[in-house]
Structure 1
Amino acid sequence: TKEGFDLVSGWKKKRYDSLLSKNIPSKLFNWAARITSNVQLHDFNCGLKAFRNDVVKNIEVSGEMHRYIPVLAKNAGYSHIGEKVVKHQARKYGKTKFGAERFINGLLDLITIWFVSKFGKRPMHLFGALGVLMFIIGFGFALYLGIDKLFINPFGRLLSERPQFYVSLTSMIIGTQFFLAGFLGEIMVRSRVNVQRYTISEELNLSRP
């Protein structure tokens, strides 16, 4: 575009949809998308969009991710995203396909994009932090139970009869699993980066005379 936008998305500012079945859910959906993606658009799901040629070539859209093309473009490095008001026509024939299922699927896709964009290259920052937190909680309960059994109430109930024991055991197991998930995620991310570097270097070597 003349203004230098990478992508321009339509905005159905005045809508002729049902207020309860589509208008309000759409507003909630767009609000959640703005909060999680930091892309300030009013209407992510508008079908009218204009792209630069290289934007289309450098984003991957699968499943129902077409709703989040502006977010995918931003994650690919195209941050100059604009918006233009478009005219919305009231439905004359048929019934809308928008319902609870599409609304839920849209939110799940939004969570997926948020996670991939924020932690896709550093999964340990999420899973490792959760793992350490859960392990500390479990270890704290275990320490409390140990001190109570050894020094405060040695002739009281068995540890296995106290609910804190199972809270401690479960928390430490879940914490360890979270930490291992983050560790394996880091290995997979780094392996993928190394494969990409190897592929690029091979292509450069083959292109040389």
Structure 2
Amino acid sequence: MPENKDISVVIPLYNEEESIKELCDWISRVMQAQGFSYEIIIVDDGSTDTSWEIIEQLTEDDGNIRGIKFKRNYGKSAALDTGFKQSLGEVVITMDADLQDSPDEIPELYHLVKNQGFDLVSGWKKKRYDPLSKKIPSRFFNAVTRMITGIKIHDFNCGLKAYKNYLVKSIEVYGEMHRYIPAIAKWNGFTKITEKAVQHQARKYGQTKFGLERYIFGFLDLLSITFVSKFKKRPMHFFGSMGTLSFLLGLFITAWLIGEKVYYNLYLHQSARGVTEQPLFFLAIVALIVGVQLFLAGFLAEMISISNDKKGDYLIEDKIGFD
């Protein structure tokens, strides 16, 4: 049986050959100084540089380091999800591989989860060493996310977070959902969520792998997980409600037009435009058809589990240090 650890550090990585050894050495110094039993799980997300060769050497030199290599680039969420599944630590800590997250924060993050009982502690880069082109969109993105999710933390996108092991084993992270792990955790019943101001460091090597498009994709993913979290188990509540409203609107318009025609002919003895000659009639037909289709969509979705459609199996090329 694999031996449980105090801490698992999960590091998703893509083309970070300059920083990975320095980061692992730094983490090891902190762990040994605190007397933690630990493991470092590095998930190479299809790097095209020499990152994997460096990881192989690190696993030979240090038995606490384990490596996973994807056949191609799947994204940060896939790397985190795979690392979570392999983690043995009571507390799981994630951090980026670019040295902008400080391992010196690990002991306090561990204490908040282990001793104070939080399910999740999110880092807050209160003082950021990023250009305004990243700071302004990030603040707007975080404000919108706080409003939609109701989680009062400042920095959803911070890579430095700490979790209970049970939490990371209970959730799935796919697509670009790594930004919304606090929201996914909350909607799965893990409500003890807090944040901690953490040290943010200027990037030492290379360039960021993310552009402004991540905010566009991130917003779409936020809508997606909001919908899935609320209606995954009861899609009929959404589609059925919308379909019923649309059908009733179409039915009301149709009844109104027919009633108006009868009233003019029978009571006022006046000729009125034909029902099919009025634009409202066609709007009513569209509303009726859409209503029926939405209702049927909800009925079918109620019988189909969509979770398997979202769960990805990632093609792993190599693994080192795993039993």
1:68-103: CA deviations, max 9, x gaps?
A: 111222222221112110112234555544444211
Specify the SS of the correspondent of 1:78: coil
Aligned to 1:122: 234
Match of 1:183 among 299, 304, 308: 299
Q: Does 1:58 align with 2:174?
A: no
* 1:161 matched to 2:244: no
In the superposition, the TM-score normalised over structure 2's length comes to 0.55
Q: 2:154 aligns with which of 34, 42, 56?
A: 42
After superposition, residues 55-204 of structure 1 pair within 5 angstroms as: 55-91=167-203, 94-152=206-264, 155-189=271-305
The amino acid across from 1:66 in the alignment is H
Q: Give the 5 Å matches for 1:5-16.
A: 5-16=118-129
* Distance in 1, Cα, partners of 2:211 & 2:165: 33
- Tell me which amino acid in the other structure corresponds to 1:70: P
| Preserved CA contact (<8 Å) 2:264 2:272 | no
Instruction: Give unpaired runs (5+ residues) of structure 2.
Output: 1-113, 308-323
Given that 1:8 and 1:83 are in contact with CA atoms closer than 8 Å, whether structure 2 keeps it comes out as yes
Q: CA deviation at 1:152?
A: 1.7
TM-score (norm 1): 0.82
1:195 maps to: none
Distance 2:125 2:119 in 1: 20
Task: Measure, in 2, the Cα distance between the counterparts of 1:156 and 1:94.
Answer: 75
Aligned residue for 2:304, secondary structure, equals helix
Which protein has the larger Cα radius of gyration, Structure 1 or Structure 2? 2
What's the RMSD between the two structures over aligned residues? 2.1
Quick check: 2:234–2:302 contact (8 Å CA) kept in 1? yes
Q: Which has the higher helix share?
A: 1
Distance 1:82 1:47 in 2: 15
Moved more, 137-146 or 24-33: 24-33
Q: 1:162 to 1:97 in 2, by over 3 A?
A: farther
Q: 1:9: how far off?
A: 0.9
Query: Take 1:120 and 1:36, find their aligned partners in 2: how far apart are those partners?
Result: 17
SS in 2 for 1:167: helix
- Unpaired runs of at least 5, structure 1: 193-209
Cα deviation for residue 157 of structure 1 reads: 2.9
Q: Tell me the secondary structure at the aligned position of residue 29 of structure 1.
A: helix
Secondary structure in 1 matching 2:251? helix
Distance 1:180 1:38 in 2: 32
Provide the C-alpha distance between the structure 1 equivalents of 2:215 and 2:146, rounded to a whole number of angstroms.
16
Choose between structure 1 and 2: higher strand proportion. Answer: 2
Q: 1:165 to 1:26 in 2, by over 3 A?
A: same
Q: Report the residue type matching 2:289 in the other structure.
A: I
The question of whether the paired residues in 2 share the 8 Å contact of 1:22 and 1:98 is answered with no
Query: What is the CA–CA distance in structure 1 between the aligned matches of 2:246 and 2:209, rounded to whole Å?
Result: 42
SS of 1:150 mapped into structure 2: helix
Distance 1:97 1:137 in 2: 49
In structure 1, the partner of 2:130 is 17
Q: Report % sequence identity.
A: 55
Distance in 1 (alpha carbons) for counterparts of 2:121 and 2:235 = 32
